[in-house]
Structure formats: C-alpha cells, structure tokens
Chains A and B, each alone.
Chain A
C-alpha cells in the first residue's frame, strides 16, 4: 500500500474527496438538522434529479460513522485553516524527508479510505442478510438492504428509479417495508424508446419533481434544474476526460495501481457527488488538472508496455484488490462502469428546452444504449467500452446472485472473442475479501496470456 500512498498524496483533490466521503455523516447531520435540508437516498448515479430538485442526495453508506483514525480529522481541520493543497504538500515534503511516524500516517490515509469503506460494505452485507434479504442476492443488494436497515430512517425520501434488474426494482419496493418514514419517489423508465415513450418518461420525471417540491415545500424553477445540470455536466466532462484522455493513454500521472484506486474512489463517490455537487465538481476538475499538470511535467509512469485490462462490472460489488494484483502482474486495470452505462452523458441545458424532458432523454439513452433491456444491448455496451479504451483484455466480475448483469457473460465472451479477439475471463465474486487467493490465481493465469 505504501507505493499507492506515495502517489496519492500528490493529488490533494483525492484527499479531499476521500475526506468528504468518509466524513459524510457530520456533513449530512448539519444539513438535515441545522439547515433543515431534505436528505434523499440514491443508489446508482441518479442523483442529478435530487440535486436539481433542491434536496441533498446521499448514497446510504455515507450516513455511517467510519472508523477513521484521528489524523484524518486533524487533516480536515488543518485543511480548513491552511487549505488542502498546503496540507498535501506538507505531507509530501515530510514524507520525502523520511520521517517514519509521518510516513506511517500517510500510508494509513489510503488504507483507511479503501479498507474502511470495504469493511463497512461487508458489515452492511451481513446486516442485510440478518434483516430479511436472502443470501441468494448479489453483494450490492445485500449491502444496500443493510445500509437502509441501519441508517435508512434518517432520510426524508428515497429516489427509486427502475432499471432492467428485477431484483433491484423489488429491493426498491422493499424500502418502505424496511423504513416506513421516508417518502418513496419513483421514476419508471420505459424499457424501450418507442412511440412517445420520451414524452411519457418526461411526465414521470415531472411528477417526481412535483413530489420533491412537496417534500421541500419549495417551488423548483427550470433554471434551478438547469443550474444543477450544468454542474453535473462539468463533473461528467472531467470524469470522461480522466477515463478517455488519461486512463486510456500511455503515460500515467502516477503508478497504475494508484490510478485504479482513484478510479474506484470516483466510482463510489460519483453516485451522490459526496452530497455536495459544486464541491465535488471543484474536486474532480482539480483532479483532472493535477493529473494533466504532472503528465505535462513528465512526472508519473510510462505504462505503454502494460496491457490495458478493462475490469467490469464493479458497481454491484467487485474484489478491490484486483487492480493491485493486476499491477503486480504487469498490467493496468481500467474502470469505466458509469461511462459504459452512459451515465456520463451531459444533459443539454439550453434555455429553450424543457429540463425534465432533457433528463428523460438522458435516462432513456442510458437505458437504450447503456444497460439495455436485454443482453444483446448490454453486451454491445461492453464491447463499445472495451474498444473505446483500446483494451487488451477484459475481466468480468460475475457476481453470485446477480441475475441481471452477470447472466450476460456467456454472450459477452462469445462476442468479445469474435469481434474484439482479446482475452477475457470471468471471476466469480460473492463478498469483498473472500477468495482473494483464487482471484490471484485466476488473474495470474489470465495475465500470462499477455507475455
């Protein structure tokens, strides 16, 4: 881990994002109790609508207290006085001097962020099973149920957007059985774009906005919605730039394992923008700048000889040690789930357009050309993403109990072999940390194909 820590402190934006992610509970408490804002539970990247409607979206795990060491709190306090860049530079400077105590602290930063989140995920997984969800479901759903059982009563509403996964939709239905308090706001996405489906989806989005208005007691104007979409678009642009212009390039601003670690952090935090869209926008844009600046100065690592391994899907649960293992085996892991699912598309904000309709188009596009309603479309999305990333290989995480994404693997394997002619393999996954040895063996055999 120290190798990663060496690198990560160079990106003060990453420190900020990690800090904001882990200390979400205090931020959210302040918003809810002092500022009387409404909290809305979101999963998957559907938070734009909640932000646009003037509420605070939260990916439920962030309502938990994370067991972080005091130093991260100190860093947070120090940053409020000196600024994150100064704190980050200071840490880097001390580390370079070789002061062991500080060195250890810096190592711990990244360990805290990744391990603490994963530990909490696993804790939620166990709680989910104890509280009603059958162990037959995927890691993601079990953990989500755990999150709602433990902290779901703190939110004022849940934004429930239906997708192709029937288990996910039924999980959304179960939320009111888990906690009676929160209002359930639904957006049903038509499965296909036929006839006037966009108009119908626009109605659904408009109705959801009305429900948000009832929740907050405030009227939401089109301009307010557009204002948020503009911020969201900036986030998505930066995220896409990092994916296409940096992760797919041959020179990284840091070592590839660190890079993947950052991408994993983005994947988690993008779901709710750490509950503060402008702050998240500033951080992700700063991250892009910091990365580009290092590349411009020639600081980083030439990764041209490292095979690009597209690792997917990760959002329902995946083994976070994968990128480190792939790095040690001479490759680099690329993560791009949200782009694959077309969740990084920008939403037009022209003053002549209807923002509810534009959001409906965004959702329909994600359904039609991202996750798809059938496996043909979904597998095409994987192929497109692998092509766009110029991937040399594809690792598919086949989640135990996932009947939506995982079931497409047979078709995907056949298409990858036929159309891309690159190596691919599936790795079964049940719970973080389970069978890491087996993952190592599988990845070892897979990476040998690139020698």
Chain B
C-alpha cells in the first residue's frame, strides 16, 4: 500500500511530541507531558493522530526519536534526536549551520554540513543536569515561580546575580544564600538563566558552532535563555515556530526521505 503520510514521534524525558507530515508539509501535531509509561503515551498519541486525520496504520510510516525512542514498539524505524533535530531545523531554516537543543534531560550542540545537510559534529552535556531544562525547573521551583513565567521574570532585571555553581544541587543552595543576602527574585532568575546560557554556549563553542544557529527544544521557548545565549555567542540566533517539535519533524522528514525513493 502506498504511504500517505509520515509520522515522527519524539519521546523526550519531559514531553512527548508527535507530528504528521505529508508531501513535505506539517499537517498535524500533538504534545503531551511524558510520564514513566513512555509506551502508553506514544501509543495514545499515535492512535489519536491517525484517527483525527482519517488514516490507517498501513498508510503511514512511524519514525521514533528521542530519549525513549527504543521503548515504542510500534515504530517502523528509529533515529537519534541528534540527526532528527538537524533535519527538523532545516524544515524551518534550510540554510542552518548549527543547532542548539536544550531539552529536559540533556542539551546538545550540532554542526550541519552546508553541502550535504548532514550532521558533521555534535556535543552533548555530560550526565550532570546543569545546562538542561531540568536545571531550570529545579531553580524555578526553588524561587517558587511557574516555569512558563521564569524567563520573563529574568528579563525584568537589568542586572544578574552571579550564579557560579555548575552543579544543580550547589546552585540551589547558592540561590538560597543569594536570597539571604537580599538579592531580588528577578536578579536571581536572571543569574540562573545566564548560568545555563554560559554553560551551553561554552559546550557549543567547542565544536565550532556559528550562524545561522537555530535554537530548539522546549527551553527555546524561554526568552531569557535565548537572549543570554545570543550575548554569549555574540550573534543573533533563530528560534523556529515550534521549537519543541523539530525532533519529531526531523524524524518524520527522515521517514519521508527513506521511503520515497
């Protein structure tokens, strides 16, 4: 049976994203918070997407990516989120040179070949949580600020408290001592965002990232991280319309490429 559409599912540690692509166009997408049961969420999202778009299982090709890519047994094939993000960002920005993806579990920097569009180098954070979405979550919790308002709060301050700890646990105690010294919530929030930007930019510079650089992943929705990343890197960076979807879109596009020739 001829394939009518290509579905990419990106199972991240904090959120699961699914997209449907047909003839190179983004038709539909869903995002849901990941729980311990990656498999069930994946199945539910997939079934829902098929149903809403009036498609049968045989008419689509499912490519999984992300932290839980191997847990979803209905996938036809798998690809890592590194390759998927590289491909997905090219959907929005065909001339992209580099990608920074900050997800819940880890952060990555990717350099793409201008000639082939393929990944030529990448770097991931080590197992430490600093420089990831998790770091922001822990810090937002310590400041008692909802995560979706955290970046805006940081941008309200024109000075940043110095957060020098590279460890999440130490940084949390540093935040508490900053409070004790009378620093404002905005200043501390700004310091936290600067700290994550500095760490990720440092990692990215090591593999020679450059413009045009696309910032994606869930954290790309945070305006403070974007602003401070630009300051650290020294140039403007782009954010796609759906930054958290680039992995899933990339997976779907790879499925399309692999199955149309």
Known: A135-B166, A430-B166. A437 touches B173 (CB 8 A): yes
Task: Give the interface residue-count category, chain A.
Answer: 10 to 19
- The answer, yes or no, to whether A434 is at the interface (CB within 8 Å) is yes
A54 to chain B, nearest CB (A): 39
Beta-carbon contact of B206 and A433 below 8 Å: no
- The answer, yes or no, to whether B177 is at the interface (CB within 8 Å) is yes
Chain B residues whose CB sits within 8 angstroms of the CB of A169 once the complex forms: none
Chain B interface, >50% SS class: helix
Whole-angstrom distance between the alpha carbons of A2 and B8 in the complex? 63
Chain A residues whose CB sits within 8 angstroms of the CB of B164 once the complex forms: 431, 433-435
Whole-angstrom distance between the alpha carbons of A435 and B174 in the complex? 7
- The answer, yes or no, to whether A426 is at the interface (CB within 8 Å) is no
Beta-carbon contact of B170 and A438 below 8 Å: yes
Beta-carbon contact of A126 and B202 below 8 Å: yes
Beta-carbon contact of A438 and B173 below 8 Å: yes
- The answer, yes or no, to whether A129 is at the interface (CB within 8 Å) is yes
A339 to chain B, nearest CB (A): 31
Which residue from B166, B173, B174, B206 sits with its C-beta under 8 Å from A130?
A: B206
Whole-angstrom distance between the alpha carbons of A131 and B177 in the complex? 32
Chain A residues whose CB sits within 8 angstroms of the CB of B166 once the complex forms: 135, 430-431, 434
Beta-carbon contact of A435 and B170 below 8 Å: yes
Known: A126-B202, A129-B202, A130-B206. A434 touches B165 (CB 8 A): yes
Known: A437-B174, A438-B170. A130 touches B205 (CB 8 A): yes
Chain B residues whose CB sits within 8 angstroms of the CB of A126 once the complex forms: 198, 202
Whole-angstrom distance between the alpha carbons of A130 and B198 in the complex? 10
Chain B residues whose CB sits within 8 angstroms of the CB of A437 once the complex forms: 173-174, 177
Whole-angstrom distance between the alpha carbons of A430 and B174 in the complex? 14
Chain A residues whose CB sits within 8 angstroms of the CB of B174 once the complex forms: 434-435, 437
- The answer, yes or no, to whether B105 is at the interface (CB within 8 Å) is no
Chain A residues whose CB sits within 8 angstroms of the CB of B165 once the complex forms: 430, 434-435
Nearest B residue to A130, CB-CB = B205
Beta-carbon contact of A433 and B202 below 8 Å: no
- The answer, yes or no, to whether A132 is at the interface (CB within 8 Å) is yes
Whole-angstrom distance between the alpha carbons of A434 and B166 in the complex? 9
Chain A residues whose CB sits within 8 angstroms of the CB of B173 once the complex forms: 437-438
Question: Contact string, A64-88, partner B, CB cutoff 8 A, digits 1/0?
Answer: 0000000000000000000000000
A178 to chain B, nearest CB (A): 14
B233 to chain A, nearest CB (A): 11
A82 to chain B, nearest CB (A): 39
Question: Contact string, A129-155, partner B, CB cutoff 8 A, digits 1/0?
Answer: 111100100000000000000000000
A109 to chain B, nearest CB (A): 23
Nearest A residue to B163, CB-CB = A434
- The answer, yes or no, to whether B162 is at the interface (CB within 8 Å) is yes
Whole-angstrom distance between the alpha carbons of A442 and B166 in the complex? 19
Chain B residues whose CB sits within 8 angstroms of the CB of A130 once the complex forms: 202, 205-206
Question: Contact string, A411-449, partner B, CB cutoff 8 A, digits 1/0?
Answer: 000000000000000000011011101100000000000
- Interchain Cβ contacts under 8 Å between A and B, 20 examples: A129-B202, A129-B206, A130-B202, A130-B205, A130-B206, A131-B205, A131-B206, A135-B166, A430-B166, A431-B166, A433-B162, A433-B164, A434-B165, A434-B174, A435-B164, A435-B170, A437-B173, A437-B174, A438-B170, A438-B173
Please list the 4 inter-chain residue pairs (A to B) with the smallest Cβ-Cβ separation, ordered nearest first: A437-B177, A434-B164, A130-B205, A130-B202
Additional A-B contact list (4), CB under 8 Å, known A130-B205, A434-B166, A435-B174? A131-B206, A430-B165, A437-B174, A438-B173
